[in-house]
Chains A and B, each alone.
Chain A
Amino acid sequence: MFCTHCGARIPDVANFCVGCGAQVNRGAATVSASPAPPAPPADSAPVPPPPVRSDPALANPPVRPASPPGAVTKCAWCNAAIEGALSNCPRCGATLNLPQAAGASGWAQLPARKDMAKLQFGDSFCQIEGLYVPVADLNLAAGDSVYFSHHVLLWKDSHIQIEPMSLKGAWTRMFAGMPLIMTQVRGPGHVAFSKDLPGELIPIPIQPGESVDVREHLFLAATGHVAYDWFQSGVWFETRTDKDERETHYPVGQFMDRFSTGNQPGLLLLHAGGNVFTRHLRPHETILVKPTAMIFKDPTVQMHLHFEHPNMRFMGWGNWSNRYLWLRVTGPGRVGIQSVFERIEGETRNISRFSNATEQRW
């Protein structure tokens, strides 16, 4: 595909020209990048899971040679169709010539990303540096901007000015423990972000008209075209002590962040603890996950509490120290989890009230 503005050759998947930075105007015949993330059709047969690798020799699978020019590769992460002999997805930075590590259960690992992998947004670039606690190093072009929570800023060029970004509902955010102030910087210049936990950096390219829901405090930065909003998670339970002291707990946080795009694509950067796994749920397909392990989900994915406990008589809701508290998520859509998660506060206490929940006794 060629840029209609400067004539430079650009990958079909690119949202912006690598030569001049102009937004790519795709004609019907040239569209090859499918929106991410797609949900399998409702009537599709279950896809047989790939075999689990058990041979130690396959623990480090051989790198496939880059695709020959003209061949189309599908990015395992953002689902973009990549044309040509690229080794990294220009939209999300994922390595293209590695087989995707997916378990038999359907959870897929976040695709490997080479150290110093580079991705583009607008006229700007993001380089992901380091493997233990990766850094997102952004080279912002003039006119481009990113916003972030100020405690994730690692370093910046001296001349870049940090500006506060106004947010609605300051009182509510303050009482919910969410950051009261979002900060933003504008290009040109370099700025870098990281968080204080070993884990993975998750670039999520958001195509026009799409949204992603993210659990609070996992957001690293987003480009200026991505709109930020937040909503009540609706997942809570109340505990009561013998002295009738009540406390409300929010296992996925009282609020969730929602990031959306209008008519322009954007890039969202998250940081999760440990390793990251994603799964596409079909319509009405459900899975139980640890509430504090959830990172993000498509807005189409529904969630509610689920209690699981032994089938014993003479027991009230609050008496089970061996009760399990889950988050039951229902498709269609994508859900992402992290392997490092916190203990759920109040899980083993006497639960007196709770939001919409299902129950299973065994």
Chain B
Amino acid sequence: MNEKSALSCHACGAPLDIRNLVSESGWREAPRIRDMTEIQFGSSTCQVEGEVVPVAEIKLGSGDAIFFEHHVMLWKEETVPLTVMQLSGGFKRLFAGMPFIISVATGPGRIAFSRDATGELVVLPLHPGMELDVREHAFLLSSHHISYSFVRIKGLTNILFGGQGMYMDRFVTSGSPGLLILHGYGNVFERRLGPGETIMVEPGAFLYKDSSVTMDVEFQKLGGGLFGGAGMSLARMTGPGRVGIQSMYVHHKTE
């Protein structure tokens, strides 16, 4: 619960003095986190700096740790130790183009992260018992209370035309809450689907979903005749649960 005088949520950084921006079609825009907003998790804090390509600067408390893909690290204090997280299925990850190594930074000390394009930080506090699937390479960092694994995307069509490789990252909380921070390209929007409710999404725009949401890529042939036409694929997302998309998407070749 935030204090009445607070200007931003201590758990996710969302401004509290402005209303949610929700489109008429039901998409909620990711809250625009103010420059230098502080977010607390465990005995650590995360300060969001910048607005065009925001940086997540973490002040790790003693005993706290975070994990991340090593190419998103921007800077760190020399005293912060880095270790490697033990992952299963190393060869599978290697062949699927996923990072072979997930790094872990342990407090106390400061370390900062950013990605390589204009976009938004999506701060997702995960309560105990939540499961979230994230597009590969989209996660910036996660607190050590969250367990990390990866799930194979089912179906050959999904892999060939889904535009996101063979695997998705899966983040699960069990006994204690955790903090997950993603970076979405462009603007990020979220929609909550009811049970059985469906929406068709450009596969390259998919950013995250609750594990209860199913994703099936459907291929559609456009035109034909002498020139063979073109085709396009769209991901059918079926609820219940949340779906997050990014507006500057990774477009895969469909022609």
Contacts and interface: CB of A to CB of B under 8 A. Distances in A.
B199 A127 contact: no
Nearest to A125: B24
B236 A158 contact: yes
B71 interface: no
Interface stretch (B84-92, B103-111, B139-147, B220-228): B220-228
A158 B199 contact: yes
Nearest to B255: A180
B24 A127 contact: yes
Contacts of A125: 24
Interface string B102-131: 000000000000000011100000000000
Contacts of A150: 222, 230, 232, 254
Q: Is the interface of A mostly helix, strand, loop or mixed?
A: mixed
Interface stretch (B38-46, B168-176, B184-192): B184-192
A133 B251 contact: no
B248 A133 contact: yes
A181 B23 contact: no
B223 A127 contact: no
Interface string A157-171: 110101010100010
Interface stretch (B3-11, B56-64, B75-83, B200-208): B200-208
Interface in A114-162: 115-116, 118, 125, 127, 129-135, 137, 139, 150-151, 153-158, 160, 162
A139 B251 CA distance: 24
A21 interface: no
A194 interface: yes
Contact of A158 (B52, B187, B198, B248): B198
Q: Which of A150, A155, A190 lies at the interface centre, i.e. has the most chain B CB atoms within 10 A of its CB?
A: A155
Contacts of A166: 223
A131 B23 CA distance: 14
Contact of A129 (B27, B119, B199, B229): B27
A162 B231 CA distance: 11
Interface in B195-246: 198-202, 205, 220, 222-223, 226-227, 229-230, 232, 234, 236, 245
Contact of A154 (B227, B229, B249, B254): B249
Contacts of A198: 118, 186, 248
B248 A194 contact: yes
Contacts of A155: 199-202, 205, 245
Interface in A156-206: 156-158, 160, 162, 164, 166, 170, 174, 180-181, 183, 190, 192, 194-198
Contacts of A133: 118, 185-187, 247-248
B21 interface: yes
Contacts of B230: 150, 180-181
B248 A197 contact: yes
Given A150-B232, A154-B201, A155-B199, A196 B222 contact: no
A196 B226 contact: no
Contacts of B248: 132-133, 194-198
B227 A174 contact: yes
B2 interface: no
15 contacts: A125-B24, A130-B29, A133-B118, A133-B186, A133-B248, A135-B189, A137-B27, A155-B199, A155-B201, A157-B199, A160-B200, A162-B220, A181-B222, A194-B186, A198-B118
Interface of B: 21, 23-25, 27, 29, 52, 118-120, 185-187, 189, 198-202, 205, 220, 222-223, 226-227, 229-230, 232, 234, 236, 245, 247-251, 254-255
Interface of A: 115-116, 118, 125, 127, 129-135, 137, 139, 150-151, 153-158, 160, 162, 164, 166, 170, 174, 180-181, 183, 190, 192, 194-198
